[in-house]
Structure 1
Amino acid sequence: MKDVTNNFLETIEPVYTPGTINFDFEAFDKAIQKAVSELSNEQLDGLEYNEIKKEITRYKSLYDNLERKRKDISKVYKNPLVEFEANLKKSYTPLKGLLNTLREKRDEIEEHQKMLRVDHVRYVFEEKCELAGLDKDTFKEKYNDFSLKGCFRTNKIELKKETVEKIDTLILAEYDRLEEYKANIDMIKEHTHEYELPAAPYVRELQNGTPFVEVLRQMKKDRDTAIEVKRQAEAKKQAEAERLAEIEALAKQSASEDIKAVNAETGEVIEDIKPAEETPSKSIEPYKINLLLTFHGGEKQWYQFVKLLDDNFVNYEILK
């Protein structure tokens, strides 16, 4: 590369030689003050119209002459500056183009170096993840953080010792976290098996970020609820079985009791009638009897008796 140290382009600069403008401001200010004092309001009242016009012409001529001179001097100073700025602006164009070209090349080199650093960081993370039994992409979002120039040794694609130690700390922390997570999963499955609950819902809760202690607390709560529901179902089933057994016992009792015929007018017992026994016969004539029955077991016994009649195909009629 060409050595441009201390060459012409590094030393060139514009040179300004200041000029001097001579004007006696002190004498000018005094003369103006004197003129102002000589033309006070009272003195102006004593002047004729033509005299006032004469004074205006006098001082206007002074003002115009000074202003004209000022503009002439301004041109002498401004014209070189305007010309210099115009020429410099024109010369800046290729200089700016050169700077942009150099900057693009610099950025290209820096981007390439950054990619090399990122690739090296990726390699280090993936190698350490493989040794720890972790997914190789576990820390992919950390690559840019560890690819800064300050993380590498000077002018080398090699991480500093302290950078490697930080990476090791991250790897170990993630390894411990996963081991604890696996242990928690195993414990959830063990408890759900013991509690007779499905494991999948509680595993999902843990995966969604619910603290393990909260998952365990919910499991125990669900277990207690399931036990109570089961207890209530069994109690209901037992009560239903007892109710059916009681009905069956009452029906049998009612069927085995003698049925007494009572005279409807006197209320006297006429005879004891036992349940009719079936006799093998080809044809049985219907048999009718008017009875007044008294059920000491109450209305419930009546319904049981009606059921017995229905079950044995006995027609009956309630007389009012």
Structure 2
Amino acid sequence: MKDVTNTFLETIEPVYTPGTIKFDFEAFDKAIKAAVSELTDEQLDNLEYNDIKKEITRYKYLYDNLERKRKDISKVYKNPLVEFEANLKKSYTPLKGLLNTLREKRDEIEEHQKMLRVDHVRYVFEEKCELAGLDKDTFKEKYNDFSLKGCFITNKMELKKETIEEIDALVLAEYDRLEEYKANIAMIEEQALDYELPSEPYTRALNNDTPLVEILREMKKDRDAAIERKQQVEAKRKAESERLEEIEAIAKQSASNEIKAVNAETGEIIEESKPADETPIKPVEPYKIDISLTFHGGEKQWYQFAKMLEDNFINYEILGENK
């Protein structure tokens, strides 16, 4: 690589040699003081108009002469500074361009190195995810966090020991979380099977961060409510069955009373008379309809509706859901 070090450019600097301005301020101040003391108010009153004009001219000449010298000296000092600043500003232009070029190159190299570090971090995460049985993209949002220079050994494309340990801890925690989730899903499905309940509402609740203990408690409540409804339906069904049996018995008894008797001697059929106020009882025929219902209140509303049907001895059959 070419050595771009330039000793001259590293050491060059402007040199200022201060000049000396000689002026006897002590004598000047003393002379002015003496002049002021000679021109008191009384003395000024005794001066003629022309004398006053002469004094003005005298001291105005002194003042103007000193001011002219001051300006000349100021130019001697200022002109080199103005010229120096103008030349330096002009020379700065290529220097600034060089700095910008070097910075752009530096940024380009740093960006490339960052991409290499990100790729290395991605490889490490993917390899560890594969060993743990996790999706390879599980930690893709973490790549930039671990691609900082401080996470790598100096001048090496190799993560520090403490960085690898931190990555291992993340992967292990995610593995444990996933295993716990799978176990919870299996427990919910097993409990749902045992309780004769659909598992989907409860697995959805788990995915919505509802604690497992609350889900199991809710499943038990739903199971107990289903058993109670079933017992109520069975009791009503039994009552209805007994009522129908009673109606059937009454009907049979009524039919028996209508059997015609035969005269044994003549063979004549004797019609038995029925009481005037006796009305035959007919069993109620079931009435069946097909309907489609939408429960905007969700599954809970359906369970409430189903309980109402069962409480009123209305049989139903589910032909489809969520259509």
Whether the TM-score (by the shorter chain) exceeds 0.5 is yes
Which structure is higher in RCO with an 8 Å CA cutoff and minimum separation 6?
A: 2
- Structure 1 residue matching 2:13: 3-state secondary structure: coil
| Higher deviation after alignment, 160-169 or 60-69 | 60-69
* Structure 1 equivalent of residue 114 of structure 2: 114
**Cα distance between partner residues in 2 of 1:102 and 1:253:** 112
Unaligned stretches of 5+ in structure 1? 257-274, 281-286, 294-304, 312-320
What's the CA shift for 1:129?
0.8
What's the CA shift for 1:219?
2.0
1:49-90 per-residue CA deviation (whole Å, 9 max, x = no partner) reads 947766665555544444333322222111111111111111
**Cα distance between partner residues in 1 of 2:237 and 2:46:** 134
What's the CA shift for 1:244?
5.7
After TM superposition, list the pairs within 5 Å mapping 1:1-320 onto structure 2.
1-5=1-5, 7-26=7-26, 28=28, 46=45, 50=49, 60-241=60-241, 248=247, 305=278, 307-308=279-280
**Cα distance between partner residues in 2 of 1:126 and 1:310:** 77
What's the CA shift for 1:21?
2.4
What's the CA shift for 1:243?
5.7
Indicate if the aligned counterparts of 2:251 and 2:281 stay in contact, CA closer than 8 A. Answer: no
- Structure 2 residue matching 1:172: 3-state secondary structure: helix
What's the CA shift for 1:99?
1.1
What's the CA shift for 1:168?
1.3
| Higher deviation after alignment, 51-60 or 164-173 | 51-60
**Cα distance between partner residues in 1 of 2:93 and 2:59:** 51
Residues 185 and 57 of structure 1, relative CA distance in 2, 3 Å threshold: farther
How many residues get paired?
A: 270
1:101-159 per-residue CA deviation (whole Å, 9 max, x = no partner) reads 11111111111111111111111111111111111111111111111112222211111
**Cα distance between partner residues in 2 of 1:37 and 1:224:** 120
**Cα distance between partner residues in 1 of 2:109 and 2:77:** 47
**Cα distance between partner residues in 2 of 1:34 and 1:242:** 144
Indicate if the aligned counterparts of 2:251 and 2:282 stay in contact, CA closer than 8 A. Answer: no
**Cα distance between partner residues in 2 of 1:3 and 1:104:** 19
Max Rg structure: 1
Unaligned stretches of 5+ in structure 2? 263-272, 284-323
Residues 121 and 278 of structure 1, relative CA distance in 2, 3 Å threshold: same
